[in-house]
Amino acid sequence: MQRMLEAAEQVLIRDGYHGFSTRRVAAECGVSPGHLTYYFPTKNMLLRAMISGLMTRYGEKIRMDSAAAETRSREDVRALLDWLLRDTVTNETSGIFRELWVLAKHDAVAAREVLQFYEGLMESFAEVAAFVYPDADRRRLRQVGQLIGMLTEGGTVLFAGPGERSVSFEEMLPIIIEVIMQQLDSAAADPVKDDHSRRTLHPPKHRLS
């Protein structure tokens, strides 16, 4: 099944949403169409499972090991931001996310899955930030997470793909990171409003139905 999901990503990047089919995915991973549809009876079920796999992969990449939380620092957060922003402009990542936007436009269930993907991704970042900024107001950390989502998706639109830009991605990268770090420091400087906001952050559960 993992091979099928990996093949689905490659077909989506190469052929786009409108060229995506279970037959092409089966050919990509070297199995019969019937074998693939045994696990994923419809194209949309396959796509939703692929989105779920993406969320798991990115969530694992973003979240830090809570057992070592006391050793984490602002520099760890800065390095994570650098990776997140650079990843959004790679051919593979920008290719698949652009097609996910198209998918969300044509399939209401998939649209909810894509939204949950982004919510889970940004919540994972807020959970990481809470380790480094334990006294920060949790809502502020979530707001910073949403800001990151807006900036990374904007980065895909403006900087992914060929062509000359009047301002380069490398010029913008340190500015964006500094803006986010300032917001995190500001969140840490604000007093926690109540006991509820001190609760550990947990990313929302991702469902395929």
| Separation between Cα atoms, residue 89 and residue 106, nearest integer Å | 24
Cα end-to-end distance, the chain, whole Å: 18
User: In this structure, is residue 171 part of a structural domain?
Assistant: yes
* CATH (domain of 86): 1.10.357
The residue assigned the tokens 């989502």 is 149
Instruction: Give the total number of structural domains in the chain.
Output: 2
pLDDT grade for 193, boundaries at 50, 70 and 90:
low
Token representation of residue 149:
């989502």
Q: Are residues 26 and 124 in the same domain?
A: no
| Separation between Cα atoms, residue 139 and residue 119, nearest integer Å | 14
Range of the domain at 180: 55-198
pLDDT score, position 192:
59
User: In this structure, is residue 188 part of a structural domain?
Assistant: yes
The per-residue pLDDT for range 128-173, each reduced to its tens digit, is 888 889 889 999 999 999 999 999 999 999 999 888 999 999 999 9
Q: Are residues 109 and 182 in the same domain?
A: yes
pTM equals 0.78
| Separation between Cα atoms, residue 184 and residue 119, nearest integer Å | 18
Q: Are residues 12 and 99 in the same domain?
A: no
